[in-house]
Chains A and B, each alone.
Chain A
Amino acid sequence: MRWDAQGVVYSLDPLVQELGVPEWLKGEGVPGQVLDGGEGERVWRAELAAAAAAQREPNVPWHMAVIGCAGAIAETGSIAHLTAPGHGRGGWLLCRAQVVLLTAEQIVSDLDGLFVGGGALDRNALPRAVTLVTGPSRTADIEQTLTIGVHGPGKFAAVVMG
């Protein structure tokens, strides 16, 4: 897969760290930014906002997000993202592409599996936002014709670690 990202943003997820994503980016010379809600992320967003405000350029500098997740559903091919410090969601929603890292143990068979105690949708431990992401952003609002990537990432990949 070749997505030609011009920069990569990543969350503070343990899997992301374990795989050494930040160091690897540095080695490859790809601009990287951690989504920790800190100064760096603010600057990155201000850049996005400026590019958006300037409007005319269709290919504003676009980024790929690499994040972890709190669970995944086999039946629907979904991942569950929970907001927490260092795990924002505005960051990856604004990117053009999204890569989600997960381990095989995180996968449950269907939606019900996430609702059990300790699962991503445990009602006693809900963060501000849980997002079940199922594939790329899409719309069929014009003539019912499916098009990918309207507001959120138009590319989505889940990488399952053995």
Chain B
Amino acid sequence: MSASHEPTSHTFEANAREALANARLQKALGAASGRFVSHRASAVAERPDFEELRRCGHAIKQEALDRLPQLLEQFEEHVVARGGRVHWARDAEEANQHVIRIAKNENVKRIVKSKSMATEEIHLNHALEAAGFEVVETDLGEFIIQLDKDIPSHIIAPAVHLTKEQVSEIFERELRETNAPGAGIPGLNAIARRTLRKSFLSAEMGISGANFAAADSGSIVIVENEGNAGLCSTLPRIHVAVVGIEKLVPRFDDLAVMLKLLGRSATGQRLTSYTNFITGIAGDGEEGPEQFHVILLDNGRSKIYDDDHLWGSLRCIRCGACLNACPVYKRAGGHAYGWVYQGPIGAVITPQYLGLERAPALPYASSLCGACFEVCPVKIEIPHMLLELRSQVVEASTEASGAAPKRPFFESLSFGAFAFLGRRPKLWDFATRLGRWLLRARSSDGQIPALSLPLLNRWTARRDLRAPARETFREEWARRRGRADAEADA
């Protein structure tokens, strides 16, 4: 599959329907999210203090947001003191231009990249290629995606939508690896290792993102499992890190808490294989790049910062736990969300980056079950934020049409009927008894099998329901109160 880089968030419903009909995708998604969920659960269970850690994680990121302008300046001072440089980028265009300028000034031809959502967001690869540079993604998943000219479908497992057969096809087609089909997963890894080794050893520039940036030391932290981020930030003579301004934590020592949360939430690891703490340029006789550039990326973040309801979403550490927990993501997959951030957090932040009018369906891509909030290591109130966005969608359409939004006829009818009955207790009693009688007549073994009902079809056609209880709540209430009264009298 090859997806264009234009966001397709405005067609979420159609995208999701297409994904549901794709058997290969459903197979890949089903297997992956199950593993993610169980790995996370066992890693979290190991720490009886996990709730406490979540509270700390929340507090640290909240403090960072409260003091963000000051912390950013402090961060810059420390980077500079250690021989690095900081470049401020208001938007994607400015960020890309900074990187292109550095590369041109330094006569760079070949660039290796490690995984970074910020660079996905600004389409850095595209800009660099257009400017004539050779850019190679070195994270295995990103490498596959780059070869296939696709876009990632999960913030930490970009190629999770592909089966190994598909990866073999891609390697055979794009790398002329005739042995790829039948190589098995270890064989495919070996091909990637061999191909990318050449790039690592010849690149003049390495580009990375950052998971965290510590204001009081000017350090960035890159968390990874493959070793490619370590190589990207060590071998080439220039290291450029693209860092969203929300990555700051106030103190270097806060990283202890954040790292305990991140690995467990993301992949269920206590720590990932490599945690890289990068500070400044290499000293005398020390191995490492001669130049270290940090691009501090705003690109809409300060707009979110100003939103009273949604600014908490800037605490996100991009662990992906909410994706794996989400019943909608598990079936619709990441591409349905139409942009670089998927799942519940994608549904919250995509409308803010692209504008609500370009992603009006995303706030509705949730059953509001709250599973995302339950697992979020920094306690982002995603369901509340989705509700807030829904009300913004309604407000915007009210404003546009100058009238309150029109409900679908069946919806107004059912709410009208509900309101009518709700005000007439006798009638209500009668209607609930009638409903119970009808439903119990259809049920067997306490279940009402899925059935096709006009108008209610979207709900009933695919679900077995439980038969209604023998008594309505009001009947039970009356019975119990009657008994209590009798006991009191006695």
Contacts and interface: CB of A to CB of B under 8 A. Distances in A.
A128 B280 contact: yes
A85 B227 contact: no
B159 interface: yes
Nearest to B252: A123
B194 A58 contact: yes
A86 to B, nearest CB: 8
Interface string B67-83: 00000000000000000
Contact of A143 (B32, B186, B214, B234): B32
Given A138-B226, A144-B32, A151-B227, A90 B192 contact: no
B230 A142 contact: no
Interface in B91-123: none
Interface stretch (A17-25, A48-56, A99-107): A48-56
Interface in B273-329: 273-288
B164 interface: yes
B157 A141 contact: yes
B227 A93 contact: yes
A121 B28 contact: no
B267 A140 contact: yes
Interface stretch (B139-147, B357-365, B389-397, B438-446): B139-147
Nearest to A116: B253
B60 interface: no
B185 A151 contact: no
A149 B251 CA distance: 33
Q: Which of B230, B233, B287 has the most CB of A within 10 A?
A: B287
Q: Which of B160, B227, B267, B284 has the most CB of A within 10 A?
A: B227
B273 A123 contact: no
SS class of chain A's interface: helix, strand, loop or mixed?
Answer: loop
Interface residues of A, number: 55
Given A89-B230, A128-B280, A143-B31, A138 B275 contact: no
Nearest to B168: A142
A76 B196 CA distance: 29
Given A84-B286, A151-B193, A152-B230, A142 B276 contact: no
A78 B256 CA distance: 14
A88 interface: yes
Interface string A107-129: 00001100100000101001111
B225 A128 contact: no
B201 interface: yes
A25 B226 CA distance: 29
A126 B201 contact: no
A126 to B, nearest CB: 4
B288 A128 contact: yes
A140 B221 CA distance: 21
B190 interface: yes
Nearest to B163: A143
Q: Which of A60, A136, A151 has the most CB of B within 10 A?
A: A151
Given A129-B278, A141-B139, A142-B167, A147 B189 contact: yes
B287 A88 contact: yes
Interface string B206-234: 00000000101101000001111011011
Contacts of A115: 252-253, 255-256
Contacts of A48: 197, 201
Interface in A25-59: 37, 45, 48-49, 52-53, 55, 58
Contacts of A127: 279, 283, 286
B87 interface: no
Contact of A142 (B35, B189, B198, B285): B189
Contacts of A128: 278-283, 286-288
Contact of B235 (A90, A147, A150): A90
Contacts of B228: 150-152
A75 interface: yes
Contacts of A130: 276-277
A52 B283 contact: no
A145 B274 contact: no
A6 interface: no
B231 A150 contact: no
B140 A150 contact: yes
A15 interface: no
B280 A142 contact: no
B280 A147 contact: no
Nearest to B217: A123
A142 B288 contact: no
B353 interface: no
B36 interface: yes
A134 B225 CA distance: 9
A136 B285 CA distance: 27
A16 interface: no
Given A123-B217, A142-B144, A142-B189, 6 more contacts: A76-B271, A84-B286, A123-B253, A131-B275, A136-B273, A150-B227
15 contacts: A52-B198, A88-B287, A111-B256, A123-B214, A126-B217, A129-B233, A129-B276, A131-B276, A139-B189, A141-B144, A142-B162, A144-B32, A151-B193, A151-B228, A152-B230
